[in-house]
Structure formats: C-alpha cells, structure tokens
C-alpha cells in the first residue's frame, strides 16, 4: 500500500551550533497524508528540526530522505528540494515590495518555470479557499497579521509541495487571528496534505495531529497518538510539560487551603 511509504524519513539526525547540541540522534518518519505535530519546551530543537529538513541549517550527521532520495548528500540541489517542501515561518515573511499575487507567483514562475495563466489560476483558487481572493492586489502592509500568514501559506501551497512545514505560525499573532490561520491548516489536513507542525496551541495540536512528537533537549521523548499523549503521557517530562498548560482553579474560599499547602 502506497500510504505506508514514508514521504519523509529522518535517520539519526545530529545538529549542533558550535558546542551546543540542539538535535541529538533524532529519527522519524512521515507517511503520505500524515500530520505530525511537534511540541516541547522552548529550545528543545523543534524549530531547528524543521529548518534542517528544509536545508536552512547544515547538519552534522544523519540522513534525511524525501520520497526515498537522500537530500543531505552533497549532490542534493537545495533549491530543487525546497520546491517540494513548503515552509511557513512564524514571522510571515511576505516580500513587502510585491502584492499578494506577485508574492505567491514568484516561486511557481521563477523557481519552477511554470506558465503564468496556469499558476495564476491555481493561486486564485487557493486564495479563494483561504478567503482572500479579494485581496490579491493588496500589498502586505495593507493586511492584518492573520491575513499575511494565510497568504504565506498559499505561497507555499502554490508550489504543490509534497510536504508542508509549519514553524509556530500563530506565535506572533493576536489571539483573534490565530483561529483563522489554524482553520486553514485544519482544512489542509482534511484534504490529506502531509504536514509537520510545530506549535504551542495544544487544543489545535490535539485536533489536527495524527501523531504527537514530544521533544525535549534535542531528542524525541515521546511519540504517540494525540488522545493517548494528552490523556496518559508516559514520560515524566511530558507530564510536567503538559501541566504548564493546566490551570488549577483557585477560588476565594479555597485560598485558605492553598496557603496551607
């Protein structure tokens, strides 16, 4: 069955900045249509992991395969590999001197050498899907944070990537804009897009993930389906991490008890 063939396979990945070991022997597989959500404390290496997959960071050892081809061997041409890997960053980096449509078409036209009418039709369909077709001639500065991030997602999607990487894409958004961006990603999951998502939105992680990867200090501590991970985390570190998101209600009449503890 083709569904079992991994789109992305990482084997024993090591990454360090000078002396600081950020990723220490990480292995994982993403199958076609699978949604992996990577969570963990700050500095655990989750963003670095995404940047390594997209070749934005050199790695020290290990192997990354995309559809069975190694992309870490010296022969890999990163600009071609990246056309198959869509990435959306935390700081929605649209190109400020181009309008929405030009932003989206830059990759398809210049990197992929596609024809404008066909690429533009696809871009319009995608913009329509995220509810921004009427903004196609707007410039980034005329858009809200949530709108910019949706355009950034469309820009990555328009390259028809094999896999999408999301690096804390809602972390710098106002709360009321987080939802519109997460809804777009949920929509992608429904359509069977293969994705690796780094996020701090736990409710969203639970809703969208096929599998939760919990990272700490550069290694995968726990890897489980979302229900299992959030209900019965196996590791002590995962339990501690999840407790951060859990607030015990402290009511006035209980103040007395709390002080005694």
Partner 1 sequence: MLDSALSLFLQGRNFARLMEGLWVTLEISAVSVLLSMVLGILVGLMMISRNPWVRTPPRFYLEFIRVIPILVLLYLFYYFPARNWDLNLDAKVVAVLVFTLWGAAEMADLVRGALTSMPVHQRESGRAVGLTEVQINRYIIIPQAVRRLIPGVINLTTRMIKTTPFIFFINVPELTKVGQQIVEVAGMRNYLASFWVYGFIFFLYFIICYPISLFSLYLEKKWSN
Q: Of 12, 27, 43, 56, which one interacts with partner 1 (CB under 8 A)?
A: 56
Q: Of 96, 117, 175, 249, which one interacts with partner 1 (CB under 8 A)?
A: 96
| Cα–chain center distance at 222 | 18
Could you tell me the smallest distance in angstroms from the CB atom of residue 192 to partner 1? 22
Judged by CB under 8 A, the chain residues 115 through 144 that form the site for partner 1 are: 139, 141-142
Task: Report the SS3 class of residue 66.
Answer: strand
- Nearer to partner 1 by Cβ, of 22 and 157: the residue is 157
54 near partner 1, judged by CB under 8 A: yes
- Nearer to partner 1 by Cβ, of 19 and 79: the residue is 79
Query: Is the CA virtual torsion 113, 92, 54, 130 positive or negative?
Result: negative
Point out which span in 8-16, 53-61, 62-70, 200-208 binds partner 1 (CB under 8 A). 53-61
Distance separating alpha carbons of residues 206 and 197, to the nearest angstrom: 12
* Number of residues located near partner 1, criterion CB under 8 A: 31
Q: Of 25, 65, 106, 207, which one interacts with partner 1 (CB under 8 A)?
A: 106
79 near partner 1, judged by CB under 8 A: yes
58 near partner 1, judged by CB under 8 A: no
Distance separating alpha carbons of residues 7 and 65, to the nearest angstrom: 8
Of the candidates 98, 93, 159, the one whose C-alpha atom is nearest the C-alpha of residue 126 is 159
Beta pairing, strands 85-88 & 163-167: parallel
155 near partner 1, judged by CB under 8 A: yes
- What is the full DSSP assignment across 9-40? EEEEEEEEETTEEEEEEEEEEEETT-EEEEE-
Task: Find the distance separating the first CA and the last CA of the chain, reported in whole Å.
Answer: 56
Task: Report the SS3 class of residue 3.
Answer: helix
User: For residue 217, what are its two tokens?
Assistant: 């200090």
- Nearer to partner 1 by Cβ, of 87 and 205: the residue is 87
- Nearer to partner 1 by Cβ, of 142 and 255: the residue is 142
**Residues making contact with partner 1 (CB under 8 A):** 54-56, 78-80, 82-83, 85-87, 89, 91, 93-97, 99, 106-107, 110-112, 139, 141-142, 152, 155-156, 159
């Amino acid at each position: 069955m083709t569904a079992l063939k991994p789109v992305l396979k990482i084997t024993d990945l090591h990454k360090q900045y000078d002396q600081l070991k950020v990723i220490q022997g990480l292995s994982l597989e993403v199958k076609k249509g699978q949604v992996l959500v990577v969570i963990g404390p700050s500095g655990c290496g989750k963003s670095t992991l995404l940047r390594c997959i997209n070749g934005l960071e050199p790695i020290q050892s290990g192997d990354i395969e995309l559809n069975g081809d190694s992309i870490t061997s010296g022969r890999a041409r990163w600009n071609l590999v990246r056309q198959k890997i869509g990435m959306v960053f935390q700081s929605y980096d649209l190109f400020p001197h181009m309008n929405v449509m030009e932003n989206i078409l830059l990759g398809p036209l210049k990197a992929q050498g596609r024809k404008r009418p066909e690429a533009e039709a696809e871009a319009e369909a995608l913009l329509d899907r995220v509810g921004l077709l009427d903004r196609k001639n707007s410039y980034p500065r005329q858009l809200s944070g949530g709108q910019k991030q949706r355009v950034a997602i469309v820009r990555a999607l328009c390259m028809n990537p094999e896999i999408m990487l999301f690096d804390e894409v809602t972390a710098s958004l106002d709360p009321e804009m987080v939802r519109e961006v997460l809804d777009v990603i949920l929509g992608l999951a429904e359509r069977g897009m293969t994705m690796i998502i780094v996020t701090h939105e736990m409710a969203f992680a639970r809703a969208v993930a096929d599998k939760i990867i919990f990272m700490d200090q550069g290694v995968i501590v726990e890897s489980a389906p979302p229900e299992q991970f959030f209900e019965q985390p196996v590791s002590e570190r995962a339990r501690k991490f999840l407790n951060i998101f859990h607030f015990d209600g402290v009511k006035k009449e209980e103040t007395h008890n709390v002080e005694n503890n």
